[in-house]
Amino acid sequence: MSEVARLFDRIATRYDLANRVLSLGGDLRWRRQALRLLPPNDGLLVDLACGTHDLGLAALRAGVCGRVVGVDCSPGMLASGAAKIAGAPVQAVLGDAQALPLRDSCADVVTIAFGWRNLTDPIVGLAAMHRLLRPGGHLLILDFFRPDRGFPRCFDRVVAGWALPLAGRLLAGDGPAYRYLHDSMGRFLSPAEAEAALAAQGFTGLRRRAFAGGVALALAASRPGVGR
């Protein structure tokens, strides 16, 4: 098991609670609003780094897919989300987002929320997302990118660096895990670098939406080709 998987196993049972408190409920709202960047669809959505399935379930409610395959590397996260998907057209798969046991062009939509920056190599991960999408399919990424200017950079330096580990210790009993989650932003792509990576991989039709003054950012794009 990877270090990232072990980290999320440690905080899995309190992950949803910590997210709600740290974002003041914003993380659910950001997911719903990010999904508005996608057109209606009744096909398959593959949700990478799915965690406890918040995004996949929101996508079903929003009508941007008809069924979901949620993939995560953490058994603990999938176990924590199992009750939430009972009776829903959602299949949980334990796996690595960079080496997926799924066939090429199988998905109408691929999503990843707050997980792209945790991949060992985000560019390799992006190539895997492109591989999964059928021509004409849509990609949605929601994440905290490396803050390089303005309010996001100020927030990161003044608040997030000490608040996240403290809140992680109080809410999830694991300050070091939330220190990692904060530090991962500083090692990740900037918004401009992420957009360039999408273009280099062959995605087109980029759309974006910022949340909380740019602290979180949604990027949507399409794989060129004829849709179904």
Ranges assigned E (strand) in 75-127: 90-94, 107-113
- Up-side HSE of residue 121: CA atoms within 13 Å toward CB? 6
Residue 158's pLDDT is 46
Per-residue pLDDT at 160 exceeds 70: no
Q: Which percentage of the chain shows pLDDT scores above 70?
A: 83
Per-residue pLDDT at 5 exceeds 70: yes
Q: Yes or no: say if 108 and 87 are a contact pair by the CB < 8 Å rule.
A: no
pLDDT tens digits, one per residue of 62-86: 999 999 999 999 999 999 999 999 9
Q: Where are the alpha helices (DSSP H) in 12-94?
A: 15-22, 26-34, 54-62, 75-81
Q: Which percentage of the chain shows pLDDT scores above 90?
A: 61
Per-residue pLDDT at 161 exceeds 70: no
Burial class (CB in 10 A: 0-12, 13-18, 19+), 40: exposed
Residue that has been written with the tokens 């009972």 in this structure:
86
Residue 8's pLDDT is 86
How confident is the prediction for the chain on average, in pLDDT? 87
Q: Rounded mean pLDDT of 12-17?
A: 84
Residue 80's pLDDT is 95
Could you give the CA distance from residue 194 to residue 129 in angstroms, rounded to a whole number?
14
Phi first, then psi: what are they for 171, rounded to 5°? -90, -35
51: left (phi over 0), alpha (psi -120 to 50) or beta: left
In sign, the C-alpha dihedral spanning 199, 97, 135, 211 is negative
For the chain, the domains span: 3-8+23-146+189-222
Residue 65's pLDDT is 98
Give strand pairing partners of 216: 211
CA-derived radius of gyration, the chain: 16
Residue 123's pLDDT is 94
Residue 136's pLDDT is 96
Q: Residue 60: pLDDT band by 50, 70, 90 thresholds?
A: very high
Q: Does domain 3-8+23-146+189-222 have CATH number 3.40.50.150?
A: yes
Residue 31's pLDDT is 95
Tell me which residue of 163, 197, 196 sits closest to 181, measured CA to CA: 163
Per-residue pLDDT at 200 exceeds 50: yes
Token digits of residue 225: 């080709």
pLDDT tens digits, one per residue of 85-130: 999 999 999 998 888 889 999 999 999 999 999 998 999 999 999 9
